[in-house]
Structure 1
Amino acid sequence: HGRPTAHLALREAVRDHPQPALAARSLAMLAGDLLMSMAGQLFVTSGLPAAYLGRARPLWAALARELIAGECLEILHTGSAAPDTAISLKVVRYKTAKYTVEQPLLIGALLGGAGERLRAGCSAYGLPLGEAFQLRDDLLGLFGDPALTGKDGSDDVRGHRPTALLAETWRLAGEEDRERLRTLLAAGAGTDKDTGTDTADTGTGTGTADADAVRDVMRRLKAPDRIEAMITARVEQALHALDELDLPGPAAAALNRLAHSAAVRRS
């Protein structure tokens, strides 16, 4: 947070390349491939008995597949002419909820020898909590304090990302507001921060102004309130699933803290 992403940080390494932006982006993708490989290596060389690792290895593979599926869904629906909440929540489930909460819990449970009931409880807790985490992230992306989040508050508008926040705004909007959103999102997408042509950070370009205007529409239609309600409902669902598990005190307390910290945060 607050630091250049890999494809920007690596430009210094290829500043003499004929196409430094493209070269840096390619290097960043290769760095991601390398890190995935290294993570797998750390997993299989963790020192745990082979029988324990064998229980969890299929879930490790599923985690990677589902993360990539979620990222692909986001790319395919970015810039959609008619944002859809169901599609946005599907992106959330695969891109974040499974990868960030559900599958790590299931891997830990399997490594510890958990039975079927406990694993089902991990999913019933982890999926709604992971969705709540991403929904909070979407709100912070547009309405959070950049000094705390480390993110440019106009990124989601510039990228025209298929967030549930945007989809709910679209669902609540009448034709006049939808036309305004089309215009604002098209203008935001016309600025490309990666190539250095966007001046949103200095306040002189269209990115910041477009994001402010989109925020105004969202507030007027009370779309952020809808997302807050979705977050609350999912946290309550996760905590109810946790209550059903009859876990040891320290484990239940840790998962309770996780649920509240994931949903109630400023960064």
Structure 2
Amino acid sequence: MTDDGPKPSYERVLLKISGEALMGDQGFGLHPPTVSRIAQEVKSVHDLGVEICMVIGGGNIFRGLQGSAQGMERTTADYMGMLATVMNALAMQSALEGLGIHTRVISAIRMDEVAEPYIRRRAVRHLEKKRVCIFAAGTGNPYFTTDTAATLRASEMSCEAIFKGTKVDGVYDKDPNKYADAKRYEHVTYDEVLAKHLGVMDASAIALARDNKLPIIVFSLDEPGGFRGILSGQGTYTKVED
């Protein structure tokens, strides 16, 4: 660890954020100041000595499900969504390396000129060397979301938790932006998430996390210092586990 203070509660984590998180107040695309702000949040945790993987969605550029709903063939639409995640990963890599953090973009679809191919043992070695690994292109397969890809990669990398950065500070029984009486859960089980359709992640991702006993921590990415705070035992969040 490079910083003084309490020992972080996890030594290796995966941060999952949506593509929409990178677009700031814009309705589309990348907002460089927002990308830089999130990179600063990642750096603050990296400075604690925590090994970090990332998975970033592609919904700010293209969402496969929406494309297929408009008449595009689903497989093609999903591959386009995967390519969008690579663009976001490269943007985040640029921001992190601008802060002096060594970063690798690792793609499930081969594109050797811009990213490394996914090889599990090599990715683990990058983490051991304190490089941030950004996993792009989902699982490389259509019909699987980036939530499922994040849970799969976190399991393969032996991460101790998935941190899901959202616009709210946890899991609620209904949308807190619409309902003043929305109740936030401190803890919720995987089965409750599935039974109550709480929308933390899709069902496949929740089931995979449950089977691998991988806790999911849902927190607000808009709260400055929130990511680091939770790892230091502070802050507001919901923990999904058995």
Larger radius of gyration: 1
Q: Scaled by the length of structure 2, what TM-score is found?
A: 0.31
Select the structure that is richer in helix.
1
When the two structures are superposed, what TM-score results if normalisation uses the length of structure 1?
A: 0.29
